Amino acid sequence: MTATATGLDVERLRADFPILSTTAHGKPLVYVDNAATSQKPRQVIEATDRYYAQGNANIHRGVYQLSERATAMYEGVREKAARFLNAKEAREIIFVRGTTEAINLVASSYGRANLGPGDEVLVTAMEHHSNIVPWQMICEERGATLRVIPMNRQGELLMDEAAKLITAKTKLIALAHISNSLGTINPVREITALAHARGVPVLIDGAQAAPHMPVDVQAIGCDFYTVSGHKMFGPTGIGLLYGRAERLEAMAPYQGGGDMIRHVTFEKTTYAPIPAKFEAGTPNIAGVAGLGAAIDYLAALPWDAVAAHEHDLLRYATEQLCDVPGVTLIGTARRKASVVSFTLDGVHPHDVGTIVDQEGVAVRTGHHCTQPVMDFLGIPATTRASFAFYNTRADVDALVAAVRKVREVLG
């Protein structure tokens, strides 16, 4: 099977990404660190450039044409983002810096108002630190307890345990749609249904899902959903928090400042309605312009072919890596995104990363901001290759050849 046998015209798509034709250490760049951040198509780069070259003005303030245009662009992208996530209304979309800020916003605002001694927040054993630490901080502040849904060694959540852990004490469940270090696709609909049957709201960390699949927050039924623009082919420093309107309306502002107020006096301030209530200060307007272009780009992709292609890359990479003596796969859930974590006997992942880099192959090594996953599995770190739709079987071949070279040098 060739790289395009799954029906996706990968070469045409690759041509949109200027960085994919560059080199590293004099070799063609093989970029397989997409779970850390994705590359950007020229449509995104041009949209950001165009905003600064022709459209730069502050939003919501000026009565002049340039400012009105910037405001229309900004609010237009909010509507686009609502369609992208299938939110009911555009006011359910808050622009944030990324998933980390989105989770901190909910932890601070919802957590401070709803958590007290004896209450519990439930996360899972495979969360990224950004879906652990904000909850730990607010639990500590409010005297609440952080509880953890366990997983098995394949990296699948133990659903029976999840059902037992959701009790009258549970005030919120926060879990990843897709694990960044293991690739597991979690049963977010089932967990949301379980939680809602007990009146517990659910936040889904969608940082790793949005680049791999169409997301439908109404079908999932969740209360909050977060995405990072930079992981879905958009700019850094911009992301989305989706929140059901009634949840967001009931929450206090996260930050105070300009643009989030209705009326200010020294005695008392009243706040703007959502979404403005959660967008204090001048936002990342250029980032919003770029994110809008990324959403357009994703919306135009043939998703059935993308899914088939990424699945083919996952299967091919899994088979090829397993053929290398000493390789152990980490994360073997039945439902997985195109993320392949592995260890190599007797070689520290940092050494793997450094040697494969010499071959032009960019992988991530370390704990991937999931130290509890590493502790659970009893390993210090892994090497992780994470594929996007623009990767090819040739990229997998280059990765595997580079890993074989590591064995020759250090094995």
Ligand X SMILES: Cc1ncc(COP(=O)(O)O)c(C=O)c1O
List active site positions: 369
Q: Is 368 exposed, middle or buried (0-12, 13-18, 19+ CB in 10 A)?
A: buried
173-232 positions binding ligand X, by CB under 6 A:
176, 180, 205, 207-208, 228
Residue 41, SS3?
Answer: coil
Report which of 262, 291, 278 is spatially closest to residue 109, judged by C-alpha positions: 278
Please give the C-alpha separations between residue 337 and each of 35, 68, 179, 211, 296, in angstroms, as whole numbers. 10, 41, 9, 10, 22
CB of 323 to ligand X, least distance (A): 28
**Residue 312 is a binding residue for ligand X (CB under 6 A):** no
Report which of 291, 99, 276, 118 is spatially closest to residue 203, judged by C-alpha positions: 99
d(CA 296, CA 348): 41
Which is nearer to ligand X, 35 or 294 (by Cβ)?
Answer: 35
**Residue 383 is a binding residue for ligand X (CB under 6 A):** no
Which is nearer to ligand X, 175 or 286 (by Cβ)?
Answer: 175
**Residue 100 is a binding residue for ligand X (CB under 6 A):** yes
CB of 151 to ligand X, least distance (A): 14
Count, residues near ligand X per rule CB under 6 A: 14
The contact pattern for ligand X, residues 33-72, with x = CB under 6 A and - = no contact, is --x-------------------------------------
Which is nearer to ligand X, 38 or 170 (by Cβ)?
Answer: 38
Which is nearer to ligand X, 38 or 391 (by Cβ)?
Answer: 38
d(CA 405, CA 387): 21
Question: Of 48, 109, 130, 343, which lies in the binding site for ligand X, with binding defined by CB under 6 A?
Answer: 130
Structure tokens at 160: 């029976």
Residue with tokens 């997998």: 396
**Residue 109 is a binding residue for ligand X (CB under 6 A):** no
Which stretch, 127-135, 340-348, 375-383, 400-408, contacts ligand X (CB under 6 A)? Answer: 127-135
Q: Is the peptide bond before 214 cis (omega within 30 degrees of 0)?
A: no
Which is nearer to ligand X, 100 or 392 (by Cβ)?
Answer: 100
CB of 138 to ligand X, least distance (A): 17
Which is nearer to ligand X, 99 or 192 (by Cβ)?
Answer: 99
Positions of E strands within 42-168: 93-96, 120-124, 145-149
Residue 38, SS3?
Answer: coil
**Residue 128 is a binding residue for ligand X (CB under 6 A):** yes
Residue 300, SS3?
Answer: coil
Length reported for the chain: 411
CB of 288 to ligand X, least distance (A): 16
Question: Of 31, 44, 98, 104, which lies in the binding site for ligand X, with binding defined by CB under 6 A?
Answer: 98
Which stretch, 48-56, 108-116, 126-134, 340-348, contacts ligand X (CB under 6 A)? Answer: 126-134
Neighbours of 106 (CB within 10 A): 28
CB of 275 to ligand X, least distance (A): 19
Cβ atoms of 180 and 339 within 8 Å: the answer is: yes
CB of 290 to ligand X, least distance (A): 14
Q: What is the DSSP string of 152-176?
A: -TTS-B-HHHHHHH--TTEEEEEEE
Question: Of 48, 99, 341, 383, which lies in the binding site for ligand X, with binding defined by CB under 6 A?
Answer: 99
Which is nearer to ligand X, 205 or 395 (by Cβ)?
Answer: 205
- The residues that touch ligand X, with contacts defined as CB under 6 A, are 35, 98-100, 128, 130-131, 176, 180, 205, 207-208, 228, 369
